[in-house]
Structure 1
């Protein structure tokens, strides 16, 4: 059969879609990039916002219109969090929650034989084990994701994810190491550790390994590769952890610390577990142990109760923290969360104006960070070429570096080369090779 996949949302979803794809291909089925020729269409959904739900519904309708005879599978966070709504979508032949994605090939086979609609959504329970998903990653990708953890017990007032993903659960350390070794053997040069709340890794395992323990174990493996962390929660990183991590040559000096707001009153209303002073101290500590590291973040504007004073506090904090990059987004109401029913909802036009102002500040701090890279030498992992002009890659700090491509037929994919950054345009860095392939 020909299988089409479409993934919404986070890196965890991307990892899980890759697992589903590998399962289908192991059974001899073919992946296709277009809907029209597909016999089966798999949608891996996100439900962080109501807009995410709408995009999913639009994709379902597009599939039905383009390939009406295709078996349509809706999987993931949307049906898990809003089961009744998902079951009412007659465009779906198979509906799967967040815990049964690995069984999609078998469920598809059953549907093909019986023609009976399938609903496979398991309720999350305390103490449940993480799914057994692993990815062989035998393709030609340069970077690969390793899912090490699932679930979240924080219950931020704006967030539906604990209801969609369940409680914290971790992949056993030895299983992660085995998957990392497989990725390294397959030629991947960067391993990206991903999960719903990485810093809770190991808290449910009998041996109680920490995220730092895991990173040290992976970095001790042999091979030419580096390790990058996904998004981490600020309150979970201690100075002892930072000191241990700083000793690891293979760990990328890039830390995505989700801020959400620089106003203490808003952080408290969000049920975040830190204040602005604690966040600022963490950034100072990271920069002390990792000179010139990149600290990136997410910032929400227009949360219920955010008045002009609170927004200005957040704006000033972002400017003073000098993020290397930031994802700015206006608060969006999400049914099923506490914030959905909070008073003092901020009007839409004010949210968009604040998002614009916050973006302007973070564009300036990003440009300033990139300018600091000029003159420095980085080991750049090259991933692709842009037409015939540039070799493109990421430095360890996640800055995109471009090097002029003299031979349009030459590719540097999966190669790590030393590059001296010669200029920046505020969005990318440009450089020149200072040493042949290392």
Structure 2
């Protein structure tokens, strides 16, 4: 959510920021509604003062026995009361209109975010690991014989439709092991607080984390009104909604492993083979709530948490800074981590780490009380995948594939797999 006061003070800067995202200028339209709203509020306050004055004079006229003046003033009070109610109603409608307009405008990009129109304009900032050279043509994950024995798309389609998968045998256990490895690393090494949160949320939680009103079609809503979370960013971030935190309690760092749901609206024809893009998937999320002065450093710290997981798994990756045209609606700055998938001969996104500044905090009124005194100020919120479990499974399987169709697994997963490090052709671990 944007601060209308900041737009009033510098409309040109606001429009320039919108232009960097490829959006049309909005300041004049916003300020026109804001001016009309403030004019109605002022008129209502003026009429209220006149009503109050007339109300006092009614008693005086009655005490003097001036019946004509008494009746005139009573009528005036009634007229003013109706006038005040009408103008307050109009001001409320204008306020709701302004709030809705502001809620549909994307966050302003940070100064260091590169300008650009698409992913082609993203900037690579680092690269780790060297993609392995295979003496055979590497396959995509679902084509690897050992994986095919435990990855069933047809049965899942029979029960649920396309973009779902049934995992079994060793593949299911590797998937579970990856999630456990991620959570344990975040808790034991990265010192995040583990949370277990709902996957059904109310409108307020989706709105507060900028998933509504503009992107409702990207998520699933139940018949009784709850939303299935697209990511536990929603539940973790909204946990501080309406709070005034003590500055000494910042930062708050959380992580959760949840099932996530996305309708994949607008992705028809994209990644239809395999389990790269699913309606239901699992993700380990990281969320930080910080002091504004610390949010940029916090983003770097979160990025290292996600990168460290891939390094421990031995998965080559590259990290890119997204340009203005490829950045998400609520983000002020986003780094994507892309894992190397030899079956596709390409780097594919496995994590996004974003700072939203105070964009979400304004929507959900999350503030902190400065230790030095003064008024409560908005916190900054950040979120990042640490990591997408299904996509990490793909990376592990494709990078570990052998010419005989088996898969060699990262040693770091052995404690979670009963010491086993190979996925055999029968889909079982050994």
Normalised-by-shorter TM-score class? under 0.3
TM-score under structure 2 normalisation? 0.24
Q: Higher helix proportion, which one?
A: 2
Task: Identify the structure with bigger relative contact order (alpha carbons < 8 Å, sequence gap 6+).
Answer: 2
Alignment TM-score, normalising by the size of structure 1? 0.23
